[in-house]
Amino acid sequence: MSWLWPVLLSMSPFVELRAGIPAALALGYSPFVAFVLCVSANMLVAPAVFVFLEFVHYRFLHVDGYRANFDRVMERVRSKSERYVERYGVLGLTLLTAVPLPGTGAYSATLVGWFFGLGRFRTIVAVSLGVFIAGVLVSVLSAGGLALTNMFL
């Protein structure tokens, strides 16, 4: 069950791969296994967010406070991503997902794709490609950081 922690971190909003891959490496997984485990888990986020948006979201719109909170989140996501998606389309969505910084990732990119009407298939493909690229970047940085730490300890 030691795989569960990195998987859950990789599927968690805000931290995603930035926490999942380092956690898997810290648990002793090889960089390849950590990459495959965490990237696969993070790729599941986009279809799950679409299920939420298409089936659950509309049923919660009448719940007190839900609409205001959702609108606030969407405004923040839109304002940070509008220029990239309007200018570069699906490629912009992929790049938004690929940058392993807070506020970017599978959750934000899926919301952006839904908001701008890019379509479920195109959004999921763009997000999955971005997750793959982010996974490579985080894996290289994490494995390199772990190697440096081990070298000095």
pLDDT on residue 54: 86
Q: Which helix (H) or strand (E) holds 146?
A: helix 120-152
Task: State the average pLDDT for the chain.
Answer: 90
| pLDDT, average across residues 5-10 | 95
Q: Which helix (H) or strand (E) holds 55?
A: none
Residue 104 confidence class, pLDDT cut points 50, 70, 90? confident
Residue 94 confidence class, pLDDT cut points 50, 70, 90? very high
Count up the domains in the chain and report the number. 1
Q: Which domain holds residue 52?
A: 4-152
Q: How many CB atoms lie within 10 A of CB 75?
A: 11
Q: What pLDDT digit, counting tens, does each position of 23-45 carry?
A: 999 999 999 999 999 999 999 99
Q: What is the pTM of this model?
A: 0.88
- Residues 6 or more apart whose CB falls under 8 angstroms from that of 13 comprise 105, 107
Indicate whether 105 pLDDT > 80: yes
- Residues 6 or more apart whose CB falls under 8 angstroms from that of 2 comprise 27
Indicate whether 147 pLDDT > 80: no
Residue 153 confidence class, pLDDT cut points 50, 70, 90? low
